[in-house]
Structure 1
């Protein structure tokens, strides 16, 4: 949420923006920034625990950070994504696990596409579709809901080999986030 504040200084109306991030899971969508991470490490001299956490973040995500362009996102302010992750690692682990479950569910349904389409077409309600997907495809509730929420064009467009690569990336991210969680307070 972006909150606009106004004040008058020396007869001039000034507008400032204050960014309040309520759903931190959305930060996964931002590109990490090595320059900001290095700056956060430099600023954290007084807090040795935060400094160790940030150093570990830099080590774990160095490859990802090197690939991205240095962008200044107004939502992240003057800090790296890892600064905002600190103190909320349990949420990040849960989010990464949920993403992995959803990707695996999409791979499962891709292998059994005809059954999935029949279930979605013949189900009378969303709840019934989710239950049938869980029963027939052996998905858990998170994965079944994710598959049921997708448009037919998305479901039929899944390429198993590409999906496997995507799952590998999510597994790597999950392992990195879990390791980073051990450095969180």
Structure 2
């Protein structure tokens, strides 16, 4: 099923054909540069299963992203419910988090920003969600740039509890956007 269409993208359900591409993407050290490690095959498979289940159960989630011109799967963008979980206990939880990840060959073309705006419009029109959060390593300037472009404001900084002390990715920044009725998003 197709949920969101933008000028160049379709955000949709996950397909079996997405699995090998997603696994490969998650094993790319460049794609995972701002995460502590790459993702094992079974964890990538479970991610897809969980993302699709959220879409089916909630009507939103982390959607597979496809280029309209080529039909190629290029990554994901969407929102998820982020809750406290054991050691992952932060002041802004529970919340709705927006996130994205794209194959390296599709970087620097505005796809992540375009998809994120599409998701925010979809959430604004189809849910009663009023705030959306995002967080990333303070070093992750590409994602922070996207957060700013889609209208998010920095609201907090924290040390990620699941990243070891002294690690260069430990310090994280939190951004938030309020979805007000009639708000217009720009690219």
Tell me, yes or no, whether TM beats 0.5. Answer: no
Task: Decide which structure has greater helix share.
Answer: 1
Question: Which structure has more RCO (C-alpha within 8 Å, separation ≥ 6)?
Answer: 1
Task: Decide which structure has greater strand share.
Answer: 2
TM-score normalised to the size of structure 1?
Answer: 0.30
